[in-house]
């Protein structure tokens, strides 16, 4: 991971590398990931050990954010995502929702519930620490 990606201002660079590489995801997922509800992150939350966490679902296909649904076999069929990256100091929240876009890639509408992944600067770089659904 480039040093520049492991700074408060480098989160976007870090996130693109995290999405693109399973080995980066493995290296930069915290020892346990807290899974909670998007609407109430601290309520009914539980922790999953890094070794058992397989639920990161954001991918990129043809420079577009997609939802990596394990039931879908063709990458071109993955649902598109509308993503909002919100870095703040030593925390960054990546909010996502399935979405439909027009031919010019303008957002037409969102579909379903929002989710978010929370990353924190720990141990000299960003780590995935929470999965909010």
Domain ranges in the chain are: 3-132
Kindly report, residue by residue over 89-119, the tens digit of the pLDDT: 999 999 999 999 999 999 999 999 999 999 9
What does the pLDDT average to over 27-38? 96
Q: What is the CATH number of domain 3-132?
A: 3.10.450
* Per-residue tokens: 23: 């080995």
pLDDT of residue 43: 82
Cα–Cα distance for residue pair 59/76, rounded to 1 Å: 12
Any idea which residue has 């990458």 for tokens? 75
pTM recorded for the entire structure: 0.94
- How many of the other CB atoms lie within 10 Å of CB of 107? 12
């Amino acid at each position: 991971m480039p040093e520049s990606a492991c700074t408060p201002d480098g989160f976007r660079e870090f996130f693109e590398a995290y999405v693109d590489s399973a080995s980066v995801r493995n290296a930069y997922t915290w020892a346990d990931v807290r899974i909670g509800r998007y609407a109430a992150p601290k309520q009914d939350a539980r922790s999953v050990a890094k070794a058992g966490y397989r639920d990161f679902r954001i991918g990129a296909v043809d420079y577009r954010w997609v939802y990596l649904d394990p039931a879908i076999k063709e990458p071109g069929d993955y649902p598109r995502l509308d993503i909002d990256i919100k870095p703040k100091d030593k925390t960054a929240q990546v909010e996502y929702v399935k979405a439909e876009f027009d031919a010019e890639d303008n957002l037409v509408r969102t579909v379903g519930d929002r989710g978010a992944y929370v990353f924190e600067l720990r141990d000299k770089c960003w780590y995935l620490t929470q999965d909010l659904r």
